Amino acid sequence: MSESARVHELQQQLATLQERLMQAERLTAVGELASTTTHEFNNILMTIMNYAKMGLRHRDEATRTKALTRILEASERAAKITQTILGAVRNRSADREPTDLGQLVRDTLVLLERELSKYRIAVELQLQPSPHALANANQIQQVLLNLLINARQAMPHGGVLCVTVRPSDDGMVELIVRDSGCGIPPDVLPRIFDPFFSTKTGPDGSGRGGTGLGLSACRHIIEGHRGRIRVESTVGKGTAFCIRLPEAPSSNAAAIATPNMQVNNSASSSSRA
Ligand SMILES: Nc1ncnc2c1ncn2[C@@H]1O[C@H](COP(=O)(O)OP(=O)(O)OP(=O)(O)O)[C@@H](O)[C@H]1O
Ligand SMILES: [Mg+2]
């Protein structure tokens, strides 16, 4: 076999091994999610069983209404968990393509426009001309939704939400979601990416939040893209999540002209995932 044929063969073997490694990584992430979910499901079933017993034992209407309300809440939480897992499994098979992150930001904000204005949140966009990212648009949209909903929930009395897309000098594209909300205390910060970690007591007035799966799903997705997600937060000032995704090979800069608007948020504590 000639030297160049041998090199070619080795390159093909390497590509096959890389593909298998990526498949294994995807399965590990799903497996990890599934095992933590099983524990959480068990907790939910215990809650449902205990409140059902309480409802059967006590015949007065007030107790029964309370028991049924708790059972409904627990079941809704269980349904949300299965949706999240199914979404994660389904999306994992999808391919990555050159993706215009600025356009994805605009499309995703359309979905939340009503909700954001209801909570008096002003949106500032800093979408700089940037190369396309090599990404699965569905998955990144899921990440964006999770971050935007968290940001909205951190600003219950209104505030400013700033979304930035910009090139970075090392072959990555940056996507930053910054809010002027409550911030995250330094002792909580290292735990926010843990599955089922939540400081929310349950779904809010818009039926969102409280499962503690949002950021752990974000981390799985971003790491699956060989990207990075990082958070900086100051209590009382706000929080910024910064995502870096690999540029698509030979991508052209997307000409997205936008005014540069600045939101002043200093960040003192930070945590990386
Ligand atoms: N922008 C933010 N500002 C302040 N705290 C935040 C922000 N984003 C996340 N957090 C904190 O991190 C925790 C975990 O977030 P995560 O999105 O994983 O779960 P959740 O929002 O509580 O529930 P859900 O599964 O519905 O997303 C939150 O409960 C909150 O304490
Ligand atoms: Mg969340």
Write down the residue that tokens 């948020």 correspond to: 265
pTM exceeds cut of 0.85: no
Same domain, 45 and 170: no
| Spatial CB neighbours of 116, under 8 Å, sequence gap ≥ 6 | 109, 123, 148, 152, 161
- Band of pLDDT at residue 260, cut at 50, 70 and 90: very low
Nearest CA to ligand 1 atom 20: 212
Per the structure, the count of domains in the chain is: 2
Same domain, 152 and 268: yes
- CA-CA distance, 96 to 226, in Å (whole number)? 12
Same domain, 126 and 65: no
Same domain, 71 and 104: no
For 77-115, what is each residue's pLDDT tens digit? 888 778 767 766 665 556 899 999 999 999 888 878 888
| Spatial CB neighbours of 138, under 8 Å, sequence gap ≥ 6 | 91, 94
- CATH number reported for the structural domain that contains residue 120 in this entry: 3.30.565.10
User: Residue 184 burial (CB < 10 Å; 0-12/13-18/19+)?
Assistant: buried
- CA-CA distance, 41 to 142, in Å (whole number)? 23
How many other C-beta atoms can be found within 10 angstroms of the C-beta atom of residue 256? 17
- The last residue of one of the domains, among 65, 92, 119, is 92
Ligand nearest, relative to CA of residue 211: 1
Ligand 1 binding pocket includes 184 (Cβ within 6 Å): yes
Domain span including residue 48: 3-92
Same domain, 223 and 107: yes
Point out which residues pair with 229 in neighbouring strands: 243
Average pLDDT over all residues of the chain: 84
- The last residue of one of the domains, among 92, 120, 137, is 92
Same domain, 72 and 170: no
Same domain, 52 and 114: no
Same domain, 169 and 37: no
For 163-181, what is each residue's pLDDT tens digit? 999 999 889 999 999 999 9
- CATH number reported for the structural domain that contains residue 25 in this entry: 1.10.287
Is the pLDDT confidence value at 135 over 90?
yes
For 185-199, what is each residue's pLDDT tens digit? 999 999 999 888 999
- Widest pairwise Cα distance in the chain: 87
- Provide the pLDDT for residue 92: 57
For 213-233, what is each residue's pLDDT tens digit? 889 889 988 998 999 999 999
Ligand 1 binding pocket includes 143 (Cβ within 6 Å): no
For 26-81, what is each residue's pLDDT tens digit? 666 666 667 667 777 888 899 999 999 999 999 999 999 999 999 998 898 888 77
Same domain, 34 and 104: no
> Do 140 and 223 meet the contact criterion of CB atoms below 8 Å apart?
no
Residue 153 one-letter amino acid: Q
Same domain, 121 and 212: yes
Q: Which two tokens stand for residue 198?
A: 């939540």
Ligand 1 binding pocket includes 133 (Cβ within 6 Å): no
Write down the residue that tokens 């945590």 correspond to: 271
Same domain, 185 and 53: no
- The last residue of one of the domains, among 92, 107, 135, is 92
